[in-house]
Structure 1
């Protein structure tokens, strides 16, 4: 599990990777080859989501190695996220459902010449950055929660930069 200073650096590196992948997705969405963009988006997400989790130390096999208090803090944080990919095996079915919801408009837009392709590219870029940035922020929050437990112990939490003891009785 990365340390506090490493967590920020990982977040920054992941965001740069996301911009590159989203740009690739946009270029493929603008191409007039049906189905290529969806297949590429699925492949990118199947690769990127677990890679981001792994960078933050949140792949399933990495989580198994955490201390019990760290896992409790992690799962408590994850519970607050809707549809998180943290600690889950990413499947084609999950990605297909996510893309179907997010990219339905893109498929319709591409049938209009030139402007439709530009709109499809813009939509594709935005959807890829949204999905992957959401995952980065969830991983960031989860990694910070684990690091707080590691630094301050299971009975403490950080509230607006101040250390507070939690009375659990």
Structure 2
């Protein structure tokens, strides 16, 4: 479980670096002028990347299941509040393909651009890089918000209650 905002920021930065590397791999696969190779590689990259991000933030199904009941409720509530489609879930090929289909216009443009000699491959690589970077960074920000919300709730619950009962040295309330 993440214990501080500083630790959360370090995790966020490390995950952004992973997304950048993965986006570069996706762009490299998109440059290959064989239809379908890029989509297959995007699915494979995301099947590896998303669970790694979930693990870093403590949001794999196994990590959530291992939490005590109160913490589990906090995390599941945070996931619901953020509306994440991939945090706390088993990442399957079907889930990734569905998410890629929602980005269909980018994928269609990427596939079509390959048929334009030379420049088309570069355009496909750029679209692929941008789409992968967007999906990865969006997931990081979702996970960050979930972990931050759970951390803040845990810190709030652990805070000492404030004693508001008057002490004998306190002046009596004014009667106006």
Per the shorter chain, which TM-score range?
A: 0.7 to 0.9
Structure 1 gaps, min length 5? 156-169
RMSD of aligned alpha carbons: 1.9
Q: Quote the residue 2:24 is aligned against.
A: 23
List runs of 5+ in structure 2 lacking aligned partners.
160-176
Normalising by structure 2, we get a TM-score of 0.81
Deviation at 1:83, TM superposition (A): 4.9
Residues 9-158 of structure 1: matches in 2 within 5 Å? 9-102=10-103, 103-153=107-157
1:23-48, CA deviations, whole angstroms, 9 ceiling, x for partnerless residues?
A: 11111101112222111111110011
Distance in 2, matches of 1:101 and 1:113, equals 27
CA distance in 2, matches of 1:154, 1:79: 23
2:38 & 2:3 partners in 1: Cα distance? 37
Residue 164 of structure 2: aligned partner: none
For residues 50 and 25 of structure 1, do their structure 2 counterparts lie closer, same or farther at Cα, with a shift above 3 Å needed?
A: same
> What secondary structure sits across from 2:33 in the alignment?
coil
**Aligned counterpart, 1:159:** none
Inter-partner Cα distance in structure 2 for 1:61 and 1:42: 22
Matches of 2:144 and 2:47, distance apart in 1: 19
TM-score by length of 1: 0.85
Shift of 1:145: 1.4
Aligned counterparts of 1:24 and 1:124: Cα–Cα separation in 2: 9
Q: Which moved more, 1:67-76 or 1:139-148?
A: 67-76
- Select the structure that is richer in strand: 1
Task: Name which one, 1 or 2, has greater alpha-carbon Rg.
Answer: 2
Which whole-Å deviations, capped at 9, do the CAs of 1:40-96 have from their partners, x for residues lacking one?
Answer: 111110011111000111111111122333222222222233452011111111111
Q: Is 2:3 aligned against 1:3?
A: yes
